[in-house]
Amino acid sequence: MDVQIEASWKAVLQQEFTKNYFQQIVAHLKTEKATKTIIYPSGSLIFNAFKQTPFNQVKVVILGQDPYHGIGQAMGLSFSVPNGVSNPPSLQNIFKELQTDIGMPIPSSGNLTAWAKQGVLLLNAVLTVRANEAASHSKIGWTNFTDAVIQKLSDEKIHLVFLLWGKFAQEKQILIDETKHSVLKAAHPSPLSAYNGFFGCKHFSRTNEILVKNGVEPINWSF
């Protein structure tokens, strides 16, 4: 199957596209689209995280769960929304922590493409969702694919920083070789849990400290 994904990722993940689980994902999406089911993000944005952050440019991984399921929100980058779309509560809390941590003014736009272009892989564990149905595609096979992505990054790169926010993301820690990479954990930025350890985690300044220590250009979190 010729999956339309950025070339460096295609080379790294080529074997995944031939596996049964991936064929089942494709079949599932085709079946739903045939019944006029609305799926987010649009087809051209499903692999947007990979397009914006090629494999050889990844420095940091921020793992989300599944795409936003409201109209116009999902853009294939975890936690990010397009320009002109109101910032969801979790993203607003991310910006609050950035303001406290590094003094960044809270931006009006929640479009995080500027981070992605600097090497921050904004990866959702599940890459699609039915409109208005959170986690509706959580069991169609995407986690097999994104687990493989995390494993490839861990195996083939060094000095990455993984930001794991919340229990779901932290379950992926087992895939990461911590003798080669750094893992920072905190509560999820959701309003339900942000006060249980996300606020005050200082993950953004700590990430840059780790990158600089390893001779890697730090991220400019401000935009």
Strand order in the sheet with 161-165: 120-124, 60-64, 161-165, 182-186
- C-alpha closest to that of 112 among 200, 48, 159, 176: 48
Which residues in the chain come in under a pLDDT of 50?
none
pTM: 0.97
pLDDT for residue 1:
58
Cα separation, 188 vs 162, whole angstroms = 14
Residue 177 catalytic?
Answer: no
Q: Residues 66, 101, 147, 155: which is the catalytic one? A: 66
pLDDT at 223: 80
